[in-house]
Amino acid sequence: MSLSLICPSCKGAEVDILASGLWDGEDKDGRPISGSCEYGICKQCHGRVARYDGPPYFPANEEWQSKIGPIEQRQRQMAAWPYESEDPNKEA
């Protein structure tokens, strides 16, 4: 997490991280592999940036929507209902 994300378009290092996490999958021999991934917006050119352990790249719109769409939606919902943290099953 110490490496900063560099924008592939303008080479700016100021990227707002929207989401970061872990991914896992299989390599070509079927062995489980995993790593970290990050998605963000460049503060300089406002371009989208993604990285999966390798060099940063510009994510396709489809990829962006599948990864970031639900997060943006959740953030909007949290902003709309800020007190929705009570557990409804909790004993009074």
List of residues contacting Zn ion (CB under 5 A): 7, 9-10, 12, 42, 44-45, 47
Q: How far is the CB of 57 from Zn ion (least distance, A)?
A: 12
- Please state, as a whole number, how many other Cβ atoms lie within 10 Å of the Cβ of residue 31: 8
Measured from the CB atom, the residue of 34 and 44 that comes closer to Zn ion is 44
Q: Write down the least CB distance from residue 49 to Zn ion, Å.
A: 7
Between 23 and 57, name the residue whose CB sits nearer to Zn ion: 57
Q: Minimum Å distance from CB 50 to Zn ion?
A: 13
User: 3-state secondary structure string, the chain?
Assistant: CCCCCCCCCCCCCCEEEEEEEEEEEECCCCCEEEEEEEEEEECCCCCEEEEECCCCECCCHHHHHHHHHHHHHHHHHHHHCCCCCCCCCCCC
Q: Nearest approach, Cβ of 20 to Zn ion (angstroms)? A: 18
Asked if 65 and 71 count as a contact pair (C-beta separation under 8 A), the reply is: no
Cβ proximity to Zn ion: between 44 and 77 the closer is 44
Nearer to Zn ion, 7 or 68 (CB): 7
